[in-house]
Amino acid sequence: MELLALLFLSFCFLTLSGRTFAAESGTPVTTVTVKEDDDVILPCSLDTNVNIEKVLFDWKKEGTVPQKEVFMYVEGNHYNNGLPGQDEQFRDRVSHFPEELKYGNASIRIKQTKLEDKGIYTCDFPRLQPEPKIFRIELVVEGRLKVRNVPGAAPHPSVTNLDQTNDWALLKCDVKGAYPKPTVEWWDSNNQTIPFEEPQVSKKGEHFYITLKTTVKKTGRYRCVATQKEIHHQIYKEINVHLNGAGPKPYVTILKENGLLECEVPGASPKPTVEWWDSDNKTLPSKTVQDEEQQGRFHVIVQTTVTEPGCYRCVATQMEKWHRISSEICVHREKTAQPPSGLPEWAAALIGGFIVVVFVVAVGVVLKIKGYSLKKDLQRMENGPSSELERNLTSEQP
């Protein structure tokens, strides 16, 4: 129960990325996870009805001799109000929660965690009555991607289609000059690792050069992924493979929301003409950003910028083969709320006005009719019944 409560509370109060676990055996070890640069609360609590305003508690970090002093509290004196002895690493970064002391809560907050803050912390009550207590908390600091700052971070792998038939394609991935040594893999479009050949690894100085080949048997998009766990770095490069069929269908993508469209025709032979067309089949101005030949097959990438929402087609034509194939892509523009069905405002006003007039007239007519019949009723009540009675009486007379 206590464990559950602790888990829940920690979950509530830690940063979103924070996760906690606890081991129940021996001194409980709570694990708190935080992203580098975020603040973190290291939890440490006695029973909630023990007031520890007058109790000494001392936070230390294990792993060095002597252990680093993180935060000490002695009857109101602590490292932030003059008590000496705090380790340099934690200077001005650690605070406690004075309001929580009444409830036995000696948790601390560490500001802007650094990678070196990771490790085991102890929260010690050495003078507690009837017996001293000590808690252990593990802090895990997850590094952020700091690609630019990390020397040796693998650059984008380069990927090539070495050879291809109607049934398979041989793909090669090169990762150059990475340190620490990356794990390199081929993934399919579902991010599943696919089988690949034994990597060829060479080393120049401290840096690794890795080449990884794979044979794929299906049309699709494949990705070569280089991962450097130690520096939390992952980078990839994709390649499209089109097997069998005369000409590969172009791949079309919206590169930028402002309307930059890209069309990629992988591995076509003979060389196709690649164009962007609008919905009236008019050719749009476009830019060929890649036009490469590999083993007699052409890999062409053409970009265009469109300003209007609508559907556009990338058309690849191989004149020699009388072959033309295209792919379409539609560009939508998110519009801010507009009157539905584009009714102009004046029309809406006119219709509204008309409805009001009709209503007023209708009400008038109804009232008039009602008023008229009411009058009649009144008249009938005044003389109607009596004359009828008279009539009845007279008719009864012999």
Ligand X SMILES: *[C@@H]1O[C@H](CO)[C@@H](O)[C@H](O)[C@H]1NC(C)=O
**Contact positions toward ligand X, by CB under 6 A?**
9, 13, 41, 43, 45, 97, 100, 105, 107
CA distance 79 to 97: 13
Strand order in the sheet with 94-96: 40-42, 108-110, 94-96
Instruction: Select 46 or 72, whichever has its Cβ closest to ligand X.
Output: 46
- Angstrom CA distances, 6 to 100, 131, 382, stand at 15, 22, 88
| E-only strand ranges, 143-219 | 158-164, 169-178, 183-187, 200-204, 207-216
**Which residue is at the shortest CB distance from ligand X?**
13
| DSSP state, residue 12 | H
Minimum Å distance from CB 103 to ligand X?
A: 6
CA distance 295 to 276: 26
Minimum Å distance from CB 100 to ligand X?
A: 4
Q: Return the structure tokens found at 103.
A: 């409830």
Minimum Å distance from CB 14 to ligand X?
A: 8
The residue among 107, 115, 108 whose CA lies nearest residue 89 is 115
3-state secondary structure 297-364: EEEEEEEEECCCCEEEEEEEEEHHHCEEEEEEEEECCCCCCCCHHHCCHHHHHHHHHHHHHHHHHHHH
Minimum Å distance from CB 61 to ligand X?
A: 19
Instruction: Select 41 or 261, whichever has its Cβ closest to ligand X.
Output: 41
Minimum Å distance from CB 92 to ligand X?
A: 19
SS3 385: helix
Minimum Å distance from CB 16 to ligand X?
A: 14
Given a contact cutoff of 8 angstroms between Cβ atoms, the answer to whether 139 and 217 are in contact is no
Instruction: Select 7 or 150, whichever has its Cβ closest to ligand X.
Output: 7
Contacts of 387 (CB under 8 A, 6+ apart): none
How many other CB atoms are there within 10 angstroms of residue 187's CB atom? 17
The residue among 242, 271, 73 whose CA lies nearest residue 168 is 242
Minimum Å distance from CB 13 to ligand X?
A: 3
SS3 64: coil
Instruction: Select 125 or 208, whichever has its Cβ closest to ligand X.
Output: 125
Instruction: Select 43 or 247, whichever has its Cβ closest to ligand X.
Output: 43
Instruction: Select 59 or 251, whichever has its Cβ closest to ligand X.
Output: 59
Instruction: Select 41 or 314, whichever has its Cβ closest to ligand X.
Output: 41
Given a contact cutoff of 8 angstroms between Cβ atoms, the answer to whether 234 and 249 are in contact is no
CA distance 229 to 183: 8
Minimum Å distance from CB 223 to ligand X?
A: 41
Instruction: Select 22 or 254, whichever has its Cβ closest to ligand X.
Output: 22
Instruction: Select 9 or 22, whichever has its Cβ closest to ligand X.
Output: 9
Minimum Å distance from CB 79 to ligand X?
A: 18
Minimum Å distance from CB 102 to ligand X?
A: 11
Instruction: Select 95 or 234, whichever has its Cβ closest to ligand X.
Output: 95
